[in-house]
A and B are shown apart, each in its own frame.
Chain A
Amino acid sequence: MRSNRFGLKKVIAFISMVILAIVMLYPFFFMISTSLKSKAQYFGAPGHSLDSWKKLFSVLPVGKQLLNSTIVCAGSIVIILIVSTMAGFAMAKLRSKASPVIFVGIVGAMLIPLQSIIIPAYINASKLNLLSGYWGAIFVYAALGTPFATFLMTSYFRGIPDDLVEASVVDGLSYYGTFIRIALPLAVPAIITVVVLQFIQIWDDLLVGLLFIQEPAYRTITVGLGALSAGRVTDIPVLMAGSIVSAIPAVAVYLIFQRQLVNGLTAGIGK
């Protein structure tokens, strides 16, 4: 009797989990099934077709926009990595009286919402002629990602024994050499976490790309889709095909680096 009730509970829990899985996967079902219909089929005509996929490539410069997304992501992430590993190393291993102030200055910027700075930042970037290419977006993404990345790097480098750094300095390595040869190789797991978190965030972002990339030829795929969907007179199956293309890289990164993503997310909780 008791084990029976226990079994029933498990079955109910399992069924609830399956239902929730369907709810969470619904966008994927919808995207795939809708993209395999022509416009007429979407409005009720029977059958499936690849019409919308063919159309997608004429409506949206998919290849070019995927390339743009890649360039913007790569550029911002490289900058984030360079500045955050250096700052994190300094905060953890090269401490002085100034460190806490600098640390608060960098990491405290996490409290600033993007929307609060976006107007002055936009005007500044336009005055500096940063809006015509990729650079405006790259710098803004880099600045937005740096506070948390520095926080993560600092806590990571704190886990490396001080002796290791001191020993290599005593052995004649400069602090720069110690950073490059000793500290950086040890920080690879934290670096991967930053890359994965930032890649998904930047790849999926609309607002910064929308404002800081003025030339349509430089638009990222997410901005391209957003602009297309805001056009209102739209071909939904084509939009869904575009959505799938835009989602694939981020989903792939998610599937491969799930653990690092979770680590990054929960890093904010630790003491």
Chain B
Amino acid sequence: MKKASPLFRQRRRSGILFSLPAFILVAAFLGIPIIQAGFFSFTEWNGITSIWHGVSTYNHELHNPIFWRVLQNNGFLLLGVPIAILFPMGVAFLLNEKVYGWRIFRSIYFLPTAISWVVIGMVSMRFFAQEGLLNGLLRSIGLGFIKTDFLSSEQGALFAVGITFIWSMVGTNTIIFLTGMATLDQSLNEAARMDGAGNFRIFRSITLPQLRRFIQFSFIITVISAFTALFSLIFVMTGGGPGFGTTTLEFFIYQSAFSRGEFGTGAMLGVILFIMMAILGIGQLLLMRSED
């Protein structure tokens, strides 16, 4: 083996030294805590003392109907994901046709990403309230009999959270697809048109495959948001209620630990969430790799 030159050794040493601060920071505040979460998920923990229970903690939780109720809420929000992707795709498609003023529309649609979930939640709460705009709109189109305080029923509140979630994804996903459409190869469209392909056929067979990477990216961003970005929205809008009507897994973690003092259960739910997100992330990575 060739002996490493002094310059090479110096470079290697600097390389490790330079990456150390980032590594230590991430390890201290993310790496160690996730290992601790793994450990404490097998215990009953009040933040100070813990009692080891082993796998039975998981077993116990899997037989807890509230846990499944919470996952069902997550499942319901997932139903919104296709809408949160397809609708912005349509919007991006129209903007990409260079509708008059498209640049301004693009800025407007993306603007809500700058405001906090806290603010969005407060406005949304009033929108869905008994005397809110939604009921007013329903009345004006003759559907006044539906009039209800959406946030006072479990289904209504979850529906309200879901709609707000979809609304909040419009900007991000529109931008993703606009970026994607800017990379499209126009000459392919022209060639297909010469061969007699119609608009729909061109969209399905030429545009969509070229957008594949962007669709995947928007899918993963949207699913991750549905699972991990809605805490503040739920905190402000419904507090997880009524009952467990809008308690999602991420909110359940917070409640377990900081409302009920069950830190062990919270840690376990956190591990479950982490596993779900890791499977999603790694699956996505493998999928992209297999296509390259």
Contacts and interface: CB of A to CB of B under 8 A. Distances in A.
A91 B91 CA distance: 38
Contacts of B249: 115
Nearest to B256: A119
Nearest to A98: B16
A115 B25 contact: no
B176 interface: yes
A207 B231 contact: yes
A30 B123 contact: yes
Contacts of B253: 115-116, 118-119
Interface residues of A, number: 93
A62 B37 CA distance: 36
B254 interface: yes
A169 B8 CA distance: 12
Given A86-B22, A102-B23, A111-B277, A117 B116 contact: no
Given A17-B105, A207-B232, A251-B111, A117 B34 contact: yes
B213 to A, nearest CB: 6
A204 B118 contact: yes
Interface string B215-244: 001000000100110011001100100000
Interface stretch (B67-75, B200-208, B266-274): B266-274
Interface in B1-39: 7, 10-12, 14-19, 21-23, 25-34, 36-37
Contact of B23 (A10, A87, A110, A225): A87
Given A111-B281, A116-B34, A116-B271, A121 B29 contact: yes
B235 A226 contact: yes
A13 interface: yes
A120 B22 contact: no
A8 to B, nearest CB: 13
Given A83-B25, A121-B33, A21 B12 contact: no
A108 to B, nearest CB: 9
Given A116-B274, A139-B25, A226-B232, A206 B167 contact: no
A24 to B, nearest CB: 5
Contacts of A90: 14-19
B267 A230 contact: no
Interface string A165-204: 0000100000110010000000000000000000010011
A16 B90 CA distance: 11
Given A115-B250, A124-B32, A258-B110, A176 B116 contact: no
Given A24-B170, A82-B21, A203-B116, A30 B126 contact: yes
Contacts of B15: 90, 94-96, 98-99
Contact of B175 (A94, A105, A262): A262
A250 B116 contact: yes
B138 interface: no
B99 interface: yes
A216 interface: no
Contacts of B23: 87, 102, 105-106
B55 interface: no
A253 interface: yes
Interface string B251-292: 001100110000100110011011001100110000000001
B179 interface: yes
A247 B115 CA distance: 6
A179 B33 CA distance: 32
Pick the most buried of A102, A118, A142, A176: most chain B CB atoms within 10 A of its CB.
A118
B95 interface: yes
Given A20-B109, A79-B25, A269-B213, 8 more contacts: A14-B99, A113-B273, A115-B231, A115-B273, A123-B47, A123-B263, A142-B25, A204-B114
23 contacts: A14-B101, A24-B112, A26-B123, A31-B123, A87-B18, A87-B19, A90-B17, A96-B16, A110-B281, A111-B282, A114-B228, A115-B253, A117-B29, A117-B270, A118-B253, A143-B25, A147-B26, A207-B231, A246-B116, A247-B115, A247-B116, A251-B111, A269-B213
